[in-house]
Each structure stands twice: as C-alpha cells, then as structure tokens.
Structure 1
Amino acid sequence: MDTITVLTERNDDFAEHRFPSGLTLMPALKTLIIGCVDPRVDPAHVLGVALGDAAIIRNVGGRVTPATVAELVMLRKVTQAGGGDMGTGWDLVVLHHTQCGITRLGGEPAMLSAYFGVGEQELPAKRIDDPRAAVAVDVEALRSSPSLAGGFLVSGLVYDVATGRTEVVVPPALLRETAGVG
C-alpha cells in the first residue's frame, strides 16, 4: 500500500471514531508551542496535547527565528479576527530536544546564518550544539522581540529522546510587562 492510501485510511478511522466536533479556533489551553519537526518529538504526543488544546509551530530545531516571530504576529491577528486575542493569559512554550538534527549542521554556517537571520560571526550565540542553552537563547529572543504581545507566560523545555521526559529549563515567566505592538 502506498503512503497516501495508508494516511487516508487512517483519516477515515479518525473521522469515524475519534473526531471531536465543535472545536474552536482558540486553543482550549490558551497555549502555543514552538517545537521541532523531528518525528520523535511531536508536542501533541510528548506533552499529551489533545486536538484543540494548543496551537503548535514546528520548524527545524524548534528554534525562534525571524520567520517564527512573524508567524506569531500573524497568529495573533488571526485570533483577533476570530474574536480573541492571543497574548495576555496565554502560555508560549519553547520545546527543544536532545539529539536534534540541527546540531549536525555546524559545518553549514551560511545555511544556519540565513535561517537565524544573523551573520555567521553571531552563530555561536545561537548555541546550536546545546539544547538547554538554545532554549534559553530562544526564550530571550522572544522576550526581546518588540512585535510580540507582552502578556504571554513564556517557558522553555527540553525533551530527552532517550527517556521520554521533559525538563523545565526556563520556568514560566511573563514575557514582558508591557504589550508589544503586534
């Protein structure tokens, strides 16, 4: 059987037996998670997030890049258009993990500097080789972004792919006292 057949059959089963009707655009937990595309680290599975609980952005390394910040700003506009306002009272979780593939790209400084929107000389500050340090760097990148709403509670977790456990590296704290322009 080809992949599309397998996936559409699984979707048929989902629609028939597990589809929760009545979900809204606003996540039930008022949570947004930034995580990695690594198939071992799906936030819905490792954090027990049910359909409709949280919005999830996934990219290489689960990193906060200029594109991630732009996406957060856009998502806030979407929630405002839907009658809500992503920000105050919401949790913003940065989820990194051990054995991440991005750590294998140290020999690709041009690619990484383009991804992060920084010069190659600034790459060491991104801490690509250390998920605990990287999650702290990314939380700080969120805090320093004036375009984000200040009312988020932001935190940073690292998931260990060998044990299945998460570690709180950056405890939840207010992104900033004042609301951003986003």
Structure 2
Amino acid sequence: MANFDDLLAANRDFAADFDLSGFDGVAHAGVAIVTCMDSRIDPLRTVGLKPGDAKILRNPGGRVDDLTLDALVISVHMLNVSRIMVVPHTRCAVASNSEATLRERLDNATGLDTSWLTLPVTDGQEVSLAGDVQRVKAHPLIPDTVTVGGFIYDVDTGLLQQLV
C-alpha cells in the first residue's frame, strides 16, 4: 500500500479545507462535458467553471459511446444538464493513429493479443466529432431542448474551437 502514500498525503491536505461537503451533486451551470482522458485537459478550468458546475465524462478520444450516452441521459433528466459539450483534442493518440497501429502498440506492450479490445479510433477527428454530436442529438431520451455542441480543444494553446 505504500505506493499511494504520496497521494493519500495530498488528499489529507485537500480535505483539510474541503468546502464541498453536503453538495447536492447536480450540475449547477447545467453543463456536461464529454472529453478525453488526456491529462493535459482540465475540463472545468477550460471553460471557466468550478467543481459542482458540470458533469465531466472522460474516455479515450472523448468519444460518445453507449456508456457515455447512458450517462448523458441520466445527467439531462436527473442532474440539471441542459448543455452538452463534446470535446476531443489536438494531438490525440487515439485520433492520430490507425487501429492497426494502436493494436500493434498494445500487443507489444502487453505481450498479448488485444484484438478483442474495443479501440475508439476515428476516420478523421472532425467527421467523428460531427457523428458523436449527431448521436447525442438523435438519442430518443435527449430532448430537443438540450443544446449540444462539438468542439476541438487545442492542447498547445488552451483554446476551444466550435466545429459543430
């Protein structure tokens, strides 16, 4: 258990002045952000929000998969979400490599056949983003009153560009 000592110590410092106790868990700014798991992205600060303002859904590539759609339905109907941002980013390993390349890298890293693993690769980030936004808009449990937009986050400048 010693491998986590540094993180547990940092957590104790964090908890010493923790101010979210009793928080209701809804998205106070009415926003859900679907983005990549890339550590260069700080989704809340990117759009000027703070903890409690938004629901953050992260996965490789910032893709809208089935589980993400389920979470968005819950967010819209139970957690005050009325705006959804789908935000992949520049220089993304998932978006800039073919499935064959990613699979080869995983096979080499694990020493195993990873052909059974689902990889969220794209045939072009802008095309995939448009498809992901449309997938959210077309979901029968996401009402037309919910605003959905597609953006690219530039990891080198910190800027968002709306594409959809």
Is the structural similarity TM-score above 0.5?
Answer: yes
Once the 2 structures are TM-superposed, how far is the Cα of residue 115 of structure 1 from its aligned partner?
A: 5.2
Partner of 1:55: 55
Native 8 Å contact 1:69 1:148 kept in 2: no
Percent of pairs identical after alignment?
30
- Per-residue deviation at 1:17? 2.6
1:139 paired residue number: 133
Pair 1:54–1:3, CA change in 2 (3 A): farther
1:24 aligns with 2:16: no
Alignment-derived partner of residue 158 in structure 1: 152
Match among 65, 89, 113 for residue 97 of structure 1: 89
Distance 1:130 1:42 in 2: 24
Residue by residue over 1:118-175, the C-alpha shift from the partner in whole angstroms, topping out at 9 and shown as x without a partner, is: xxxxxxxx8x1533332222111112222323321111111111111111112xxxxx
TM-score normalised over the length of structure 1: 0.70
Structure showing greater relative contact order (alpha-carbon pairs closer than 8 Å, 6 or more residues apart): 2
* In structure 2, C-alpha distance between the alignment counterparts of 1:56 and 1:3, rounded to whole Å: 27
1:12 — aligned with what?
A: 12
| 8 Å CA contact retained: 2:36, 2:63 | yes
Q: Output the CA distance in 2 between the equivalents of 1:158 and 1:5.
A: 36
RMSD of the TM alignment (CA)?
A: 2.5
* 1:130/1:75 CA distance change after superposition, 3 Å: same
How many residue pairs match? The answer is 149
What whole-Å deviation, never above 9, does each CA across 1:68-114 have from its counterpart, x for those lacking one?
1122234456x2xxxxx645xx1111011001121224315x668x4
Gaps of 5+ in 2: 104-114
**Helix, strand or coil at the partner of 1:51:** coil
Q: 1:115 to 1:71 in 2, by over 3 A?
A: farther
Unaligned runs of 5+ in 1: 80-84, 117-125, 171-182
State the SS of the aligned residue for 1:39: coil
TM-score, structure 2 as length reference: 0.76
- 2: distance between equivalents of 1:74 and 1:165? 29
Shift in alpha-carbon separation, 1:145–1:115, aligned structure 2, 3 A? farther
